[in-house]
Chain A
Amino acid sequence: MDEMDALRQMRTALAQEEHPDRLALRTAWRSDPAPRRRRRGFTIPLVSVAATAAAAVTAVAVLAPGGSGDGVAPGHGGRGAASGNVLLAAATSAEKAPTGRYWHTETVIGQIYGVGKSAANSYEVDARQRSITWVGQDGKGSLAIVDELGHPVAAKDMIKWRQAGSPEMVDVPNPDGTGVVTQVEMSTQASRSPRTTPARPFDGDYFGLSAEQVAQLPTDAKALENTLLNLRGNWHAVSSTPEKQPIRSLRGAERTRALSEVASTLLSKAPAPPRVRAAAFRMLATLPGVKVGGTATDPMGRTGGVVSMPMVTTMPLGLYTAPKQLGTYERQWIIDPAGGRLLAIRDLVATPPHGSRALPPGDDGRPRRLRATDMPDRFLKTGEVASYQVFAVAEWTNTAPR
């Protein structure tokens, strides 16, 4: 036996590999247990609950949980005489929008986290991430990500954060419900400017559609819907036995949600021609459960018409095998009819999270519970914004990427 064999026989009991789900639970690497590990508020994957993610999340890759957050209650007022036409007006405008050599987008996704032990003694912070994409006519694109720093949502939150000593890092519950505290890095006078990753190539994949396929989508609303109904994916928010199926096999609100999610991508990230965008708006106007009415202001201060989606959970589609939310939500699109643009999507709290719910046992075999105290939105009230997605830029341009 030489020295290498002798070494290989040393500590062999420690050499046994464990199942990754088990390791994920124990190491909680996403959940930032050590103080020097910091992140900017975004939840990195939960392998255990999302055990099916491998096959499931192609769809989610182009879809962030949406909603737009200006912290203001919804302008969900009466239906104006013209409100029924917001989607159709937007379609008409979208059709006339200019084209160009590049599809350029800037999208900000935000999640609101409550900081503190009780509703009375807490404040809300907004953690954001920005993505910037350019897609050329060959369908090839580049993507840059800006990790933006967190900031208090409203003036009253700013006051409480300052009273707490303007901490650079704030503890927030981990929405994965593992009980491990997560931190959000706040913007302070001392903090660095947001970090931008260098732009890098990315393959456009829009719910399984390539850029080329997106460009060839039907420009008639009914024909577009018919094509999208054939899209295969995991379209359930929660499914213990995930499998790919066409949207056509869904019924009611589930079908509307799947179609609206694809439509929102066609109206934002995807390099869709103006006439395809117009068709997406028109298709939405015909979907059961979609309601038009009122106006609202998006987080960039832009006002638009409100379109409400028939859904109660905003959990991303195709990702989870067990529930991850204890509240119910209303998803609203904010639309600019004159510009033919989708400005933002925001999720408002309908019923705040309360109580708890048993979950199937984890990989360690122990029972688990989803608790309201672990929810980022545990202190939010009905009508407040829990998360959002702002389409700051979404335009065809001849300006080359910088």
Chain B
Amino acid sequence: MAMVSHTRDDRDDSRIVAASLEDAEAFGELFRRHAPRLHAYISRRLGRTLADDLVSETFTTAFRRRDRFDGRTDFGAWLWGIASNLIARHHRQETRMYRAFARTGVDPAEDAVAERASDRASAAALGPRLAKALASLRPQDRNAVLLLAWGEMSYAEIAAALDLPLGTVKAKIHRARIKLRSALPKEHNDG
């Protein structure tokens, strides 16, 4: 008789979610696959310390609700949706950091990071202006445009993560981009 065995790597995310209902250990693979990118994204929005907490909370929540993941949506989008809701709770903290950056030219989010000179140089010119504009965006518009710019997600993925119609996502991003563009100096406006 042929002995078939499967290694965990072969399985797609939704299979692993299903397997994790019985074998909690299986969920660790999903952490391995998704945590690094999600952590980088949340770090960029809220700083690294809060990002540690929110990644933890996102996966704890996802693990607890894994029975409600029906596999019809992409697991990544579902996970980022949970994360987006958690980030939204820190809306005021996020806005305060943008404002402080705009006011002082020093980004509190990057406090803990050993910055390389190149980052500092490229960010220095436009960072505070962008931060000021980001602070003024509506929470959902900011969410959508940052999922695009920092989360490197497609419009369709953003729509799935935020559970919004595609058209709505496009409108939000369009609105946000106009506001951000107006914050840039004129010579940067022609791209």
Contacts and interface: CB of A to CB of B under 8 A. Distances in A.
Q: Do A and B bind each other?
A: yes
Interface of A: 1-21, 23-24, 26-30, 32-34, 37, 39, 42-47, 50, 53-55, 57-58, 60-62, 131, 143, 145, 197-198, 200-203, 205, 207-210, 213, 216-217, 227, 230-233, 244, 319
A20 B35 CA distance: 6
27 contacts: A2-B188, A3-B183, A4-B148, A7-B146, A10-B126, A11-B110, A14-B109, A15-B40, A18-B39, A29-B31, A33-B56, A37-B60, A45-B28, A46-B28, A47-B31, A47-B32, A53-B25, A54-B7, A57-B25, A62-B22, A143-B18, A145-B22, A200-B67, A205-B6, A208-B5, A213-B3, A231-B3
Interface of B: 1, 3-9, 15, 18-19, 21-29, 31-33, 35-37, 39-41, 43-44, 47-48, 52-53, 55-60, 63-64, 67, 107, 109-110, 113-116, 119, 122-123, 126-127, 130-131, 145-146, 148-150, 177, 180-181, 183-184, 188-189, 191
A26 B25 CA distance: 18
Contact of A8 (B26, B63, B150, B181): B150
B109 A57 contact: no
A14 B40 contact: yes
A43 B63 CA distance: 11
Given A47-B32, A61-B23, A16 B145 contact: no
B6 A23 contact: no
Contacts of B59: 27, 29-30
Given A3-B181, A4-B177, A47-B31, A23 B55 contact: yes
Contacts of B52: 23, 26-27
A20 B21 contact: no
A141 to B, nearest CB: 11
Contact of B64 (A39, A46, A217): A39
Given A7-B145, A20-B36, A14 B47 contact: yes
B37 A10 contact: no
Contacts of A50: 25, 28
Nearest to A2: B191
Contact of B7 (A16, A29, A58, A203): A58
Given A12-B119, A13-B113, A14-B48, A4 B24 contact: no
